[in-house]
Amino acid sequence: MSLPSGQELRITEATLRTVVKDIFRSAGSNERECDLVADHLVEANLKGHDSHGVGMIPAYIASLKAKELTLNHAPRVVNDIGGALVLDGGLGLGQTIAFDAMVMGIERAKKTGSAIVALSNSHHIGRIGHWAEQCAREGLVSIHFVNVIADPVVAPFGGKVPKLVTNPIAIGIPRREAEPVIVDFATSKLAHGKIRVAYNKGVPVPDGTLIDAAGRPTNDPAAMFEAPTGAILPFGEHKGWTLAFACEALAGALTGGHAMKGPVTQKAIINNMLSIIVSPDALGTQATYLSELESFVHWAQLPVEGQSPTVLLPGDPERATKAERLAHGIPVDRNTWLQITAAGASVGVSEAVLAAYAG
């Protein structure tokens, strides 16, 4: 499909889900897995996190071609000690592996009051907030620490050479008769995927995000994709770095997985995740939890003269973006669409079919 440089497509949610399902069905995923990966990737796009949406398809297909991704796989229980589950993802598709891991953790937390789920060796599990949302829908509070085994792209605070990846953290906080509060962030200034999106669009990244190969500040996302490559900086200087370090310890080492220890050669993006899931109901604090939380929300958002707009809660911007994109379509830039088309063609989905989906 030919598009003028810089042109952006607007594709409906339903159509984009069909695109994802067609590609993964052709690649060998069963219908359940096609549904899970489509739900996850398209929801990321709907909420404005294009870095973790359908633009990840080419990377996933590349891993599959390299035999570093296993389709239709389930997490294997390595150890079950009642309040804790240790699981091995076996390089299964992360959208399936993490979903199943959370199902197991949710069931255990409802039974025992809390659960620790230590998941190692999964292929990329995508937007971590998705798993916090899964727990929140069941009325459970959850905390998720993730580390990433891939080419290092983030420099430690005080360093100029990348030593780790964008290690995200997410927290899910269910509310009474309201959408949950979802805290979800990379420990770097920007997720690597957001810099990929900027590179594909040909737009700069914000000040203070990147350094080039010589350690000089730059706004050019090419610094991460064209040799010699530079590095992403941690958010909040030493604060982002220390949280990223904690992810290496809690998600990488404690789960039985791996921490970063040098450059990697595989195409796969490997994730390890430590999840802590808590049931306020089982703890007997449900009533207090819900009332105190709503009291705080009221206090935090209480209008103050001269203050505009209203104070937003974590997750509010994503909900607003989702409403806009449901109404007007999901934007996909030209280069990302061409990359998706090539990935689809590589597993047998014709470019003509994908072009028709794009209108």
DSSP output for 283-348 = HT-HHHHHHHHHHHHHHHT---TT--SPPPPTTHHHHHHHHHHHHH-EEEEHHHHHHHHHHHHHTT
Q: Is the pTM of this model over 0.85?
A: yes
Whether 321 is covered by a domain: the verdict is no
* Claim to verify: residue 94 and residue 23 sit in the same structural domain: no
Nearest to 126 by CA among 91, 88, 96: 96
Q: Look up tokens 């900086």; give the residue.
A: 233
User: Which pLDDT score is estimated for 4?
Assistant: 40
Is residue 38 helix, strand or coil? Answer: helix
Residue type, 319: R
Return the residue matching tokens 């737009």: 203
**Residue 270's CATH number:** 3.30.1370.60
Q: Which domain holds residue 26?
A: 1-65+329-359
Q: What is the per-residue pLDDT for 1? A: 32
Contact by Cβ (8 Å): 207, 219: yes
pLDDT at 308: 66
Residues 11 and 38 in one domain: yes
> Which pLDDT value is given to residue 266?
87
Per-residue pLDDT 10s for the chain (359 aa) are: 334 445 789 999 999 999 999 999 999 999 999 999 999 999 999 999 999 999 999 999 999 999 999 999 999 999 999 999 999 999 999 999 999 999 999 999 999 999 999 999 999 999 999 999 999 999 999 999 999 999 999 999 999 999 999 999 999 999 999 999 999 999 999 988 889 989 988 899 999 999 999 999 999 999 999 999 999 999 999 999 999 999 999 999 999 999 999 888 888 999 999 999 999 999 999 999 999 999 999 999 888 777 666 889 999 999 999 999 999 999 999 999 999 999 999 999 998 889 888 87
28 and 142 housed in the same domain: no
| Same domain? 84 vs 130 | yes
121 and 34 in a single domain? The answer is no
Indicate whether 131 and 181 sit together in one domain: yes
Query: For residue 174, what is the DSSP state?
Result: -
DSSP track, 87-138? EE-TTB-HHHHHHHHHHHHHHHHHHHSEEEEEEEEEE----THHHHHHHHTT
Residues 99 and 175 in one domain: yes
